[in-house]
Amino acid sequence: MKNKTILVTGGTGSWGRELVKRLLEKEPKEIRIFSRNEALQVEMKQEFHHHPKLTFIIGDIRDQDEIMQACQHVDYIYHLAALKHVPICEEQPDSAMKTNVMGTQHVIQAAIKNEVEKVIYVSTDKASHPSSTYGMTKALGEKLIVHANLRDSKTQFICVRSGNVLGSAGSVVPIFKQRIEKGVEINLTDSRMTRFFITLEEAIALLFKATIESRGGEVYVLKMPACSIKDLAQVLIEDLSTAEIPIHVTGARPGESLKETLISEFESSNSISLDDHYYVIFPPFHIEGLQESYATSIPVEFHSYHSDHSLMSKQEIRGMLQKGGFLA
């Protein structure tokens, strides 16, 4: 990354801020933060003390001209911009489609036109076996990114697939903490619900792993733990409150599934265990030299990778929350 120009779409979010912080350590030439939110850009400028290597660009990936201009003379793109909240995408599928699918296609076209070296697309476990509009649009985004490697261009396109990032904006842990601090009941959609979790530190390590080792066409997946959301709520209550905080089951929301899938049954036949921490999913079509470059890695032994398998104990959940800085 030294002396490189890097574009981060959706760069004012939780992933983006942590990524920018870590990228600055690698002495890049310039980091461009591209997002729609003016207020968050102002806040982020102050947070980074108006760092001279940071350029803030107000723009929307749904506007092809804006993203095309932002990609000029760029070496790497981290494509984080998305509509990600399941209920919002269910209520406004047209907006989800425009941002998560058409916006991703605009990033691909801009990267090819500007001869970007690599594009790293951040996907989600909800894309593997989608039950929601959000999952479906992110799955289509993955397909577009992976298939872009078949185009006659110098750009390599790679996906990373993540579970829930601990503490990201609007996610379950900060919401639960806020309600516990107020002494009000926690709303849980279903007591059987399980989810994969990843810390911000692990998320950025996943991005860098994919950036450094990929050849184009892979989906990188972190081997990540899963837990019961009910157990997660109970651990937070036990550690943050002396009062009894009730848990109210409201029923699953539209598009919401009880479990998530990081690698589907269809994908497992094209997946390898890269090392102790990562899996790689290959595309269902041939890319010159891709599979051969991973010849020493072993195929996965499972048929699918679901969040309701091998759940963390409460003590392990507590350790995860402490590691993420949410419990002392």
Range name among 153-157, 188-192, 252-256 with the lowest pLDDT average: 252-256
Per-residue pLDDT tens digits for 266-287? 999 999 999 999 999 999 999 9
* Residue tagged active-site, from 84, 126, 138, 209: 126
Q: Are 34 and 7 in contact (CB under 8 A)?
A: yes
d(CA 239, CA 289): 51
Label residue 3 by pLDDT band (50, 70, 90). very high
- Statement: the pTM of the whole predicted model exceeds 0.85: yes
> Torsions phi, psi of 23, nearest 5?
-65, -35
Other C-beta atoms closer than 10 Å to the C-beta of 91 total 13
With 90 as the cut, is the pLDDT of residue 171 above it? no
Per-residue pLDDT tens digits for 284-327? 999 999 999 999 999 999 999 999 988 999 999 999 999 888 88
Q: Please tell me the predicted confidence (pLDDT) of residue 170.
A: 73
d(CA 167, CA 65): 33
Q: Are 216 and 157 in contact (CB under 8 A)?
A: yes
Task: Go through the domains of the chain in sequence order and give each one's CATH number.
Answer: 5-163+196-223+262-305 (3.40.50.720)
d(CA 301, CA 96): 35
2 labelled catalytic = no
Label residue 24 by pLDDT band (50, 70, 90). very high
Beta-strand pair 247-249/186-188: parallel
Per-residue pLDDT tens digits for 181-207? 999 999 999 999 999 999 999 999 999
